[in-house]
């Protein structure tokens, strides 16, 4: 089960390999920022003892954040959060029935004292970006480097939005002008 690459600081786990098409977006976000991670199947229901071992050993193996994706009952994020002092980010994975709302509610409704950060249904990319933000907090050189990359990333988002606005104004203005508008 432990396929941890050297230096992995984020654990990216899911209840089944069928969750990978959703969870891969978190991996891509981590790769975009040069964050080493491990990815594995850790099922809360099919392999509970392995899940307990994973959660208890995560910090000792050097992980700093866990991203856990699960569908249906979605117990994995909460169970891991109960076993580790690390921040856990839950990703509700949409399934055929209920479109992931069951997963979302399961992850969001954690008992007091067991916090799990939760992103939108299928929001694995934001989970990866949140992990980057967590790693960017602090005063270490690596945290400062990540903070700078996040600032550049935010500026890229801004420039994209500005470009979309300019194109929309151009299209809308062209149409309004052709209709003999005000």
- Asked if residue 3 is part of any domain, the answer here is no
Instruction: List the binding residues for substrate.
Output: 16, 19, 46
- Asked if residue 149 is part of any domain, the answer here is yes
Report the pLDDT value the prediction gives residue 87, as an integer from 0 to 100. Answer: 98
Residues 80 and 158 grouped into a single domain: no
Residues 124 and 154 grouped into a single domain: no
- Asked if residue 2 is part of any domain, the answer here is no
Report the pLDDT value the prediction gives residue 178, as an integer from 0 to 100. Answer: 60
Count the alpha carbons within 13 Å of 145 in the hemisphere toward its beta carbon: 6
Residues 39 and 55 grouped into a single domain: yes
Residues 19 and 70 grouped into a single domain: yes
Looking at every residue in the chain, the average pLDDT score rounds to 93
CATH number at residue 55: 3.40.50.1970
Residues 161 and 79 grouped into a single domain: no
Q: What is the pTM of this model?
A: 0.90
Number of compact structural domains in the chain: 2
Q: At a CB cut-off of 8 Å and minimum separation 6, what does 51 contact?
A: 42, 43, 44, 76, 79, 80, 83
Residues 156 and 94 grouped into a single domain: no
What is the residue range of 47's domain? 10-137
Residues 53 and 123 grouped into a single domain: yes
Share of the chain above pLDDT 70, in %: 93
Beta partners for residue 151, in sequence order? none
- What's the CA gap between 35 and 65, in Å, rounded? 11
Instruction: List the binding residues.
Output: 16, 19, 46
Report the pLDDT value the prediction gives residue 96, as an integer from 0 to 100. Answer: 83
Residues 43 and 118 grouped into a single domain: yes
Residues 80 and 153 grouped into a single domain: no
Spatial contact of 119 and 90, defined as CB atoms under 8 Å apart? yes
Q: At a CB cut-off of 8 Å and minimum separation 6, what does 143 contact?
A: 135, 136, 137
- What's the CA gap between 86 and 65, in Å, rounded? 6
Residues 72 and 132 grouped into a single domain: yes
Residue 80: name the closest of 62, 101, 57 by CA: 57
Residues 158 and 90 grouped into a single domain: no
């Amino acid at each position: 089960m432990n396929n941890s690459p050297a230096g992995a600081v984020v654990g990216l786990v899911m209840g089944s390999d069928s969750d990978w098409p959703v969870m891969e977006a978190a991996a891509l976000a981590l790769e975009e920022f040069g964050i080493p991670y491990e990815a594995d199947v850790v099922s809360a229901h099919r392999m509970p003892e392995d899940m307990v071992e994973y959660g208890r050993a995560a910090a000792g193996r050097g992980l700093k954040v866990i991203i856990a994706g699960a569908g249906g009952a979605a117990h994995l994020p909460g169970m891991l959060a109960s076993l580790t002092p690390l921040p856990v980010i839950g990703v509700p994975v949409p399934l055929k029935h209920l479109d992931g709302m069951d997963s979302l509610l399961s992850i969001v409704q954690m008992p007091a004292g067991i916090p799990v950060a939760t992103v939108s249904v299928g929001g694995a990319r934001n989970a990866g970006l949140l992990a980057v933000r967590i790693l960017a907090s602090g005063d270490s050189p690596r945290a400062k480097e990540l903070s700078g990359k996040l600032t550049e990333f935010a500026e890229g988002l801004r420039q994209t939005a500005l470009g979309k606005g300019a194109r929309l104004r151009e299209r809308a203005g062209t149409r309004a002008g052709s209709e003999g508008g005000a």
